[in-house]
């Protein structure tokens, strides 16, 4: 499992990338680290890239606990644009379920199977590859 994040205060954008087999605890760990990172700011837009996930082992309880983390921790502001992109319908469905559980607590406004659509939604002025690579 590889689940990592990168943040750019200069561009007010973050990126979470997941690869391989991912579990509830992986998301919990990365989200906690991201929210406590000095480079994180509450209005930061975020791309959650799940296109290379091979296996997603999550439970309803695990998803609810992650949703509760965002409901209790008000560090993500409603104006932040958050887009999640995946390459398969199963992961897409799980992310849509998470989106439903976090309504009012997390502004996950876009879940898509199209990477280009996610980038357009985030309205980046600089390509993601330039920001992080």
pLDDT of residue 24: 84
Please give the model's pTM, rounded to 2 decimal places. Answer: 0.89
CB crowding 80-99: b at 16 or more within 10 Å, else e = bbbbbbbeeeebbebbebbb
Look up the CATH number of the domain holding residue 61: 3.30.750.24
Res 1: pLDDT = 62
Note the pLDDT tens digit of each residue in 33-92. Answer: 998 999 999 889 999 999 999 988 888 888 778 777 777 776 766 678 889 999 999 999
Exposure class string for 102-118: b at 16+ Cβ within 10 A, else e: beebbbbebbbeebeeb
- Long-range contacts, stretch 36-40, CB < 8 angstroms, 24+ apart: 37/5, 37/7, 39/7, 39/8, 39/9, 40/7, 40/14, 40/75
**Residue span of the structural domain in which 53 resides:** 2-132
Percent of the chain with pLDDT over 70: 92
Predicted local confidence at residue 8, as pLDDT: 95
Domain count, the chain: 1
15 pLDDT more than 70:
yes
pLDDT confidence of residue 104:
66
């Amino acid at each position: 499992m590889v689940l990592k994040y990168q943040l750019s205060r200069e561009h007010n954008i973050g990126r979470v990338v997941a690869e391989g087999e991912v579990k509830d605890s992986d998301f919990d760990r990365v989200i906690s680290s991201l929210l406590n990172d000095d480079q994180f700011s509450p209005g930061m837009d975020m791309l959650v890239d799940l296109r290379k996930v091979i296996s997603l082992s999550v439970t309803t309880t695990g998803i609810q606990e992650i949703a509760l983390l965002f409901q209790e921790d008000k560090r993500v502001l409603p104006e932040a644009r958050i887009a999640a992109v995946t390459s398969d319908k199963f992961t897409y469905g799980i992310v849509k379920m998470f989106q439903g559980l976090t309504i009012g607590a997390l502004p996950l406004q876009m879940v898509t199977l199209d990477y280009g659509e996610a980038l357009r939604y985030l309205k980046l002025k600089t390509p993601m590859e330039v920001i992080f690579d």
